[in-house]
């Protein structure tokens, strides 16, 4: 009888550990989902202005160790031979958040929304970088790693001739 009870307790402990792992995975997914929702709310109504106006959308990638152009290309399904320009995160947001003397209320409000987006990304992600992928018609990504090591941020399009 004692051996049976020991085996049952051992199985119970294994089952408990397995359930804890499942809960941890669910917490990771729910935390990432929460972050994606926060980003989605922050970018609502924002457009990236280049030679075209492009909607800004949340970007959710996979787990990775580092934020590199190679990793971004791999996760976005782009070929490795594309031109990729890496930009500093703060430099990327500088022109979007700077309020000019000639700004009217709408432009000021947009700059403030970009500043709030920048702050949200800074608070929730590490190793933030901006990437422009391609030539003339570009895919633009501003990404970092969340606490779980997932690539997360925003994506948009740009036209630069």
Give the pLDDT confidence score for residue 1 in this predicted structure.
Answer: 52
Residue 119 has pLDDT above 60, yes or no: yes
Residues above pLDDT 70, as percent of the chain: 82
Residue 139 has pLDDT above 50, yes or no: yes
The 3-class SS string of the chain reads CHHHHHHHHHHHHHHHHHHHHHHHHHHHHHHHHHHHHHHHHHHCCCEEECCCEEECEEEEEEECCCCCHHHHHHHHCCCCCCCEEEEEHHHHHHHHHCCCCCCCHHHHHHHHHHHHHHHHHHHHCEEEEEEEECCCEEEEEEEEECCCCEEEEEEEEEECC
Residue 73 has pLDDT above 60, yes or no: yes
CATH label, 2-159, candidates 3.40.50.970, 1.10.260.40, 3.40.1460.10, 3.40.190.10 = 3.40.1460.10
Report the predicted TM-score, pTM, of the whole model to 2 decimal places: 0.81
pLDDT class of 78 with cuts at 50, 70, 90? confident
* Residue ranges per structural domain of the chain: 2-159
pLDDT class of 67 with cuts at 50, 70, 90? very high
């Amino acid at each position: 009888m004692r051996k049976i009870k020991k085996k049952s307790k051992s199985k119970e402990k294994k089952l408990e550990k397995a359930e804890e792992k499942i809960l941890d995975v669910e917490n990771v997914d729910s935390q990432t989902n929460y972050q994606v929702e926060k980003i989605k709310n922050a970018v609502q109504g924002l457009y990236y202005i280049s030679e075209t106006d492009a909607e800004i959308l949340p970007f959710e990638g996979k787990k990775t160790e580092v934020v590199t152009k190679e990793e971004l290309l791999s996760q976005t399904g782009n070929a490795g031979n594309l031109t990729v320009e890496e930009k500093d995160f703060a430099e990327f947001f500088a022109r979007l958040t700077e309020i000019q003397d000639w700004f009217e209320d709408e432009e000021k409000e947009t700059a403030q929304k970009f500043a709030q987006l920048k702050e949200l990304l800074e608070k929730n992600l590490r190793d933030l970088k901006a990437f422009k992928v391609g030539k003339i018609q570009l895919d633009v990504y501003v990404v970092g790693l969340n606490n779980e090591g997932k690539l997360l941020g925003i994506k948009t399009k740009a036209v630069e001739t």
